[in-house]
Structure 1
């Protein structure tokens, strides 16, 4: 058997070319499709405006589905950390303690963060289904109850 040796720059280039080809083959060879896997998308929405998310001290993630019957509401509250909400069915009206209201129909997502209390209200004739992902500090509850503002006229 005759050995061929490459040295210097040509040896380096040849070895590099072989390494690139082998890396390409290895990455193709190690890829594999999922097997015995079921993925269910439970909600999908789009933010009404882009967000740059910044949260601190987040350790816990909790997911929850809320159903609010017609005429029902969440009660006045705030959240520690950040909550991403997606409206799967119906329309939710978010009443804020600064006396503003925001309307989010099915297919929209929004974020709740901060210390301004809110109350989510179903003013429609069908149940509202919300999917929530809470990002919160360790040991904190999902929400803190608050008094309804006395100076807003929502009715």
Structure 2
């Protein structure tokens, strides 16, 4: 009985510690972003995930990077896409297609600076089981 109580006490301490441990302290959270997975299949150790993402006016993806390659099509609106050097900014308007390469050396942020919702159709090609994106801190740019 003593072992069981001690085990429960240890488990409670671990659970409390995990619950109170903060996430990535410097991550920049997204705001005004929602997504719906349309289709998902795993083939040859890679996940192929088709997702529709909506970013509301003034919304941001937060700074992040991807474990795999992302292929995107702008269905509606305009995406302002900035790389971690804070100077490379691409603007993708309705009908544009673009690719985001994989890896932590490709940190970027996407923002909707327009007045209408931005809708993206995105195909993620990720190593099986990978998250859709990895949070990153703001690399020092004057905006989120």
Give the TM-score, by structure 2 length. 0.64
Q: Do structure 1's residue 103 and structure 2's residue 103 form an aligned pair?
A: no
- 2:50 maps to what in 1? 63
- 1:82 maps to what in 2? 69
Q: Do structure 1's residue 142 and structure 2's residue 132 form an aligned pair?
A: yes
The CA distance in 2 between the partners of 1:61 and 1:129, in whole Å, is 19
Larger radius of gyration: 1
The CA distance in 2 between the partners of 1:69 and 1:58, in whole Å, is 34
1:58 Cα deviation from its structure 2 partner: 5.4
Give the TM-score, by structure 1 length. 0.60
**Corresponding residue SS for 1:142:** coil
- 1:11 maps to what in 2? none
8 Å contact kept, 1:58–1:135: no
How many residues get paired? 99
Q: Name whichever structure is richer in strand by fraction.
A: 2
- 1:131 maps to what in 2? 121
Give the root-mean-square deviation of aligned CA atoms.
1.9
- 2:111 maps to what in 1? 121
1:154 Cα deviation from its structure 2 partner: 4.5
Q: Do structure 1's residue 153 and structure 2's residue 139 form an aligned pair?
A: no
